[in-house]
Structure formats: C-alpha cells, structure tokens
C-alpha cells in the first residue's frame, strides 16, 4: 500500500522549465522581468488594484504591519486583534513590529468570530488580522464592516486563499491589505514566495521601496532631471528597508502554476465534497462550517472529532499509511502568546479536535474513499458518544 500524504505539490514541469529557461537565456533571474509579469497576471486574475511580489507571505505580513504603523503613527504596544488558530507567521508579524496581538475567538468556520472581535476592541486597537482558514471566507465581510465602522485597518492573511471567491468575486476587495503565500505546499505552490496587495496605491509604492532596502530609484532622476539610465547609482534611500522582494526564477514557477489554479481548486472542491458526503451523517465526525457564497480554494479539508480520540485517530491512520496534519495548535500554547491562554475557549478546544485529511492533485477518488473508510471505521469502533 502506498503512502497517502497530506500535501503533494504538483507542477507542470515543462511549463515551469520553459519559464525558467527564458530567465536563464535572458540572463535575468532577479527582481523585475518575471516578477513584474506575475504581478500583472495576479492583478488580472484577482481584480485587485495592486500586487507586489515578495519572497514570502511572512515578510508580507510584517511589511503590512510596519507600513501601516509608520504611515498612521501607531505606537509600540498598540493592539492588533488576531486569531490564535493559525500558523505562527500571522502573529509573529505583529510582534516583529512591537505591537501586541490581542486574540479573539473563532466560530465553527475556524475563522475569527465577529462578535468576539467586537468585544476585544479597546482604545488601543489599530487593526484586525484575519485568516481565511483553509480557503474558507468565514464571516470575513462582517469583519470588514466592523473595521470600516471602527476605523481599523483590515489585514487579510490570505495564505490559504489563492483562488477563493465570494459571490463570484476574488477575495481581497474589502481588505486594506491582502497577503498571499506561494510556499512549497500551499495550493499555488512555488518554492517560497508571496504577494502583498495594498488597496492604496501610495502604500504599494512604499512597499516596493521597503522590500528592497528602502531604495528609491525615482527621486534622483526627478529632482535633477537627469536620465535615470545614465546615473543609476545616484538613487536615494528613503527607508531602512528589508531585503524582501521575490525573484524571476521563483516567479517563473508561479506563472506556470497560475495557469491551472482554477482547475486545481475545482478538483480540491470535488475531493472535499466526496469527503463531506462520506462523513455528513456520522454523529462522531463534525464538518467545518463553510460560509454561504464562498467558493473556497480548499487548501485544507478539516474535520473535528472528540479530543480524546484525535491523536489516537492520527496514529491509527499512520498505521494505515495515511498521514494527516493538524492546522493548527492554538498559538496561546506557545510561550510568547501564553499571556492570552484561556481567552479563546473555542479555538483552544478546536485545537485539540481538528484533523486535516490528505488533499492534493495526485489523490484518486479511490484513495479519498480509502481515507474516509479508515476514519469512519476507527470512529465507529472507538466513539464514546461524546
């Protein structure tokens, strides 16, 4: 029996190599060229007005917080409301910039609960950081409304959301900044890279400088009237920026992958629907609530089971050559976020109950059914009725 892994990225190898070959032939592997080509394709695909290609989503989250902080004169210790049920990048980005993550609880979509967010707003709250878990929008639009009415910035960690649409429209349209990930096992895998999409064009200009050490190539030419090409080294440095931009070799993979993203996501939804149909009337297996109107990228397929059985179920599946995952442990279990332990009971409970089942383009329906059979069999033998 072959192993059934959680994630297996699939590449159109010929298409990837064709794009990379163009970089090598041109002698251009760095910033520009394919990074700009992919930025333009991403804007076209998502309908978002701006897109800047970075070497990761994590650095994009940090740049979003950094630039909002500087431009809006936030102070150290100001608060950003965030979810404890996420990859640590989401919350580390807040700490990197000297702000404080204040955790709100999740609802049954595993995304932030708008009512809990409202309760966590204080005079120091500056923004909400939202994660669309597994590609699910949850109640993203309600949170966007709260941000608008309370004058908070809305930062969307869309690491799982490449290709997620809500009522037919690609997500990101109502956030102040949306950050995507093309990390090696995401639903649009490259090797490592990400995209930051500010709604405000001025902030897009700033992040382009910030992601390349703060270098401002425009000012010298503008202030002296000299030809930029002749005096390239006379650039100004406007910020103490980071080295965070993406490169043309990795952008080549993104360009090749974007061509089949919608087809891949459709297959992901088909696999998820098959799992749903197998589990839906099983009293010991809970499905995660999918928002109405959401066409999810389905980066993840998650279920929840009695917490006593969760880890033993994973061990049992491992014996059957199935290798699921858990997304995620509540961040309040980690020492830097432990100050908030107990403040988000639902997230803490889900953290002990959820399992992500194998979901990728190489899975056959037979394999999905085999995974479902094993889960159902284990639960029927061991269910305590809880």
In this complex, which beta carbon is closest to ligand PLP, that of residue 163 or of residue 194?
Answer: 194
135 touches ligand PLP by CB under 6 A:
no
Q: How far is the CB of 193 from ligand PLP (least distance, A)?
A: 7
In this complex, which beta carbon is closest to ligand PLP, that of residue 243 or of residue 381?
Answer: 243
363 touches ligand PLP by CB under 6 A:
no
**Alpha-carbon span 303 to 337, nearest angstrom:** 25
90 touches ligand PLP by CB under 6 A:
yes
In this complex, which beta carbon is closest to ligand PLP, that of residue 337 or of residue 378?
Answer: 337
Q: How far is the CB of 384 from ligand PLP (least distance, A)?
A: 32
**Alpha-carbon span 343 to 366, nearest angstrom:** 42
Helices assigned H by DSSP within 225-364: 248-258, 261-279, 307-319, 345-351
In this complex, which beta carbon is closest to ligand PLP, that of residue 170 or of residue 378?
Answer: 170
The H-or-E segment that residue 220 falls in is helix 219-224
**Measured over all CA atoms, what is the biggest interatomic distance in the chain, rounded to whole angstroms?**
78
User: Scanning residues 25 to 64, which ones bind ligand PLP (CB under 6 A)?
Assistant: 56-58
Distance of CA 284 to the CA centre of its chain: 29
354 touches ligand PLP by CB under 6 A:
no
**Alpha-carbon span 52 to 246, nearest angstrom:** 9
Q: How far is the CB of 170 from ligand PLP (least distance, A)?
A: 18
Task: Provide CB contacts within 8 A for 135, sequence distance 6+.
Answer: 160, 161, 163, 164, 187, 265, 268, 296, 297, 298, 299, 300
Handedness of CA 61, 65, 134, 292 (dihedral sign): negative
In this complex, which beta carbon is closest to ligand PLP, that of residue 64 or of residue 313?
Answer: 64
157 touches ligand PLP by CB under 6 A:
yes
Interface region with ligand PLP, contact rule CB under 6 A, candidates 20-28, 68-76, 84-92, 216-224: 84-92
- Residues near ligand PLP (CB under 6 A) are 56-58, 86-87, 89-90, 131, 157, 159-160, 181, 183, 194
């Amino acid at each position: 029996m072959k192993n059934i892994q959680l994630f297996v990225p699939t590449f159109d190898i010929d298409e990837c190599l064709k794009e990379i070959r163009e970089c090598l032939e041109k002698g251009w592997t760095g910033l520009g060229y394919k990074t700009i080509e992919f930025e333009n394709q991403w804007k076209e695909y998502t309908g978002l007005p701006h897109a800047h290609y970075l070497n990761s989503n994590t650095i994009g989250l940090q740049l979003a917080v950094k630039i909002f902080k500087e431009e809006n004169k936030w102070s150290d210790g100001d608060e950003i409301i965030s979810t404890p049920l996420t990859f640590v990048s989401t919350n580390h980005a807040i700490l990197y910039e000297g702000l404080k993550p204040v955790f709100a609880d999740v609802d049954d979509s595993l995304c932030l609960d708008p009512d809990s967010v409202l309760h966590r707003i204080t005079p120091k709250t500056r923004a909400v950081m939202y994660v669309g878990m597994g590609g699910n929008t949850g109640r993203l639009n309600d949170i966007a409304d709260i941000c608008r009415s309370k004058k908070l910035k809305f930062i969307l960690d869309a690491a799982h959301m490449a290709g997620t649409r809500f009522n037919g429209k690609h997500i990101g349209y109502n956030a102040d900044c949306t950050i995507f990930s093309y990390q090696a096992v995401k639903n649009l895998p490259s090797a490592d890279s990400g995209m930051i999409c500010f709604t405000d064009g001025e902030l897009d200009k700033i992040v382009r400088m910030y992601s390349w050490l703060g270098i401002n190539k425009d000012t010298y030419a503008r202030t002296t009237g000299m030809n930029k090409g002749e005096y390239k080294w006379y650039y100004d440095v406007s910020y103490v920026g980071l080295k965070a931009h993406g490169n043309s070799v990795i952008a080549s993979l993104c360009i090749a992958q974007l061509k089949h993203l919608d087809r891949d996501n459709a297959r992901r939804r088909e696999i998820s629907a098959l799992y749903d149909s197998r589990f839906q009337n099983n009293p010991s297996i809970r499905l995660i609530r999918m928002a109405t109107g959401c066409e999810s990228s389905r980066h993840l397929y998650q279920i929840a089971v009695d917490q006593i059985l969760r880890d033993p179920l994973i061990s049992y599946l491992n014996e059957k050559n199935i290798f699921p995952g858990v997304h995620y442990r509540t961040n309040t279990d980690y020492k830097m976020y432990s100050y908030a332990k107990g403040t988000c009971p639902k997230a803490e409970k889900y953290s002990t109950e959820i399992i992500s089942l194998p979901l990728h383009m190489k899975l056959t329906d037979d394999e999905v059914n085999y995974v479902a059979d094993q889960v159902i069999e284990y639960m029927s033998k061991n269910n305590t009725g809880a």
